[in-house]
Structure 1
Amino acid sequence: MPSIKLSTKNQIVLPKEAREAMGVKGGDELVVVVKGGITLLWPKPKSYAKALAGKGRGLYASEYLAKERRAW
């Protein structure tokens, strides 16, 4: 597992393996999320709507959705 070092200017260099896995290159923007003691990085999507489309698919059984729709 590669490690990185924080420079005196508070900068880091992502290892080549990480850049290739995320599909990013110089100048691309990343999203940083800190949860507890864990920091997550991922490429900033061009469209959040497209990035989130379909993420909820399969969360509810089809019977549940049909029941809720009938309740309206």
Structure 2
Amino acid sequence: MVKSKISSKGQITLPKRVREALGVGPGDEVAFEVREGEVVLRLRKRVSLRDLLGRFRGRVAYPGEEGERKAREEAWAQEP
């Protein structure tokens, strides 16, 4: 078991062993899910616009920044 303390601002530091196990670094995002009194931490993988649009190959034009943000959020929400 790896432990970390909560700061006065409610922040935690992910211990090195956890960061290495998840393969996360500065700028990466994680998602927290509360399940029956426990917290599950998941890496939120970045999805490039090219990958998102590649799913629709030739059927859609560039959605703009707002459309890109919404598409990325939807893709993140669908991760298992």
The letter of the residue matching 1:9 is: K
How many residues align? The count is 52
Match of 1:65 in 2: none
**Deviation (angstroms), 1:36:** 1.3
* Structure 1 counterpart SS, 2:18: helix
Counterpart-to-counterpart distance in 1, 2:17 and 2:2? 9
TM value normalised by structure 2? 0.56
Offset from partner CA, 1:34-63 (integer Å, 9 cap, x none):
0111100011023448955xxxxxxxxxxx
Over aligned residues, Cα RMSD in angstroms?
2.1
* Structure 1 counterpart SS, 2:41: strand
Structure 2's unaligned 5+ residue stretches are: 48-74
TM value normalised by structure 1? 0.61
The letter of the residue matching 1:42 is: R
Match of 1:45 in 2: 45
Counterpart-to-counterpart distance in 2, 1:27 and 1:36? 29
Match of 2:30 in 1: 30
Q: What does 1:1-72 correspond to in 2, within 5 Å?
A: 1-47=1-47, 48=75, 51=79
Structure 1's unaligned 5+ residue stretches are: 53-72
Counterpart-to-counterpart distance in 1, 2:10 and 2:79? 30
